[in-house]
C-alpha cells in the first residue's frame, strides 16, 4: 500500500508492505501523480516496508531522479539496512538524503495497549 500526502512544499509517500515485483503495476500511476504534484521535496517513509527488491529500488530511483531533474530532493526515512543495501548495490544511494533519526510512532491496536512493531535488521 502506498499513500500520498502533500503540503505546499513537500510530497510524502508512506509505503507499507512489500515494495517488489508483485507491486510494480501501481508504480507508473504513483510516479505520474508524484511528478505531477511538482513539489521540491519528496519524503519517502519506509517505516512499514517489509521487503524491497530491485524492482522496488528502481521505482524509488525513478522518483528521486525525476525530482533531481527538477532541482528537488528526495529523503528516505525509516529505511532499514537491507533497503539501503539494495539501493547501494543498484548504485543509487547518492540520489537520496537519508533521515537516520526518524522513528514512526507505534501503532495502537483496538485493545488500547500500545504496541511497537520492530522489523529485524532495523536500525534507529
Other CB atoms within a 10 A radius of the CB of residue 91 amount to: 9
Domain assignment present for 119: no
CATH number at residue 10: 3.30.750.24
Domain assignment present for 108: no
pLDDT for residue 124 is more than 50: no
Domain assignment present for 105: no
More confident of the two residues 96 and 122: 96
For the whole model, what pTM was predicted? Answer: 0.78
CA-wise closest residue to 58 among 24, 10, 33: 24
Q: For residue 100, what pLDDT band results from cuts at 50, 70 and 90?
A: confident
pLDDT for residue 121 is more than 90: no
Domain assignment present for 21: yes
What's the pLDDT at 123? 47
Structural domain boundaries, residue 18: 2-99
What's the pLDDT at 33? 92
Domain assignment present for 123: no
Total domains present in the chain: 1
Query: What are the pLDDT digits (tens) for 35-85?
Result: 888 888 999 999 899 999 889 999 999 999 999 998 999 999 988 889 999
Do residues 76 and 41 touch, judged by C-beta distance below 8 A? no
Segment (H or E) for 99: strand 97-99
Query: What are the pLDDT digits (tens) for 84-95?
Result: 999 999 899 999
3-state helix, strand, coil split of the chain in percent (to 5) is 35, 30, 35
Amino acid at each position: 500500500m502506498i499513500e500520498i500526502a502533500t503540503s505546499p512544499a513537500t510530497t510524502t509517500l508512506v509505503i507499507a508492505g512489500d515494495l517488489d515485483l508483485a507491486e510494480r503495476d501501481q508504480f507508473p500511476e504513483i510516479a505520474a501523480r508524484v511528478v505531477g504534484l511538482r513539489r521540491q521535496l519528496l519524503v519517502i517513509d519506509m517505516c512499514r516496508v517489509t521487503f524491497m527488491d530491485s524492482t522496488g529500488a528502481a521505482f524509488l530511483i525513478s522518483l528521486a531522479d525525476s525530482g533531481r531533474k527538477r532541482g528537488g530532493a528526495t529523503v528516505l526515512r525509516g529505511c532499514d539496512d537491507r533497503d539501503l543495501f539494495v539501493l547501494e548495490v543498484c548504485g543509487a544511494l547518492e540520489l537520496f538524503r537519508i533521515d537516520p533519526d526518524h522513528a514512526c510512532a507505534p501503532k495502537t491496536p483496538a485493545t488500547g495497549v500500545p504496541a511497537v512493531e520492530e522489523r529485524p535488521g532495523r536500525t534507529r
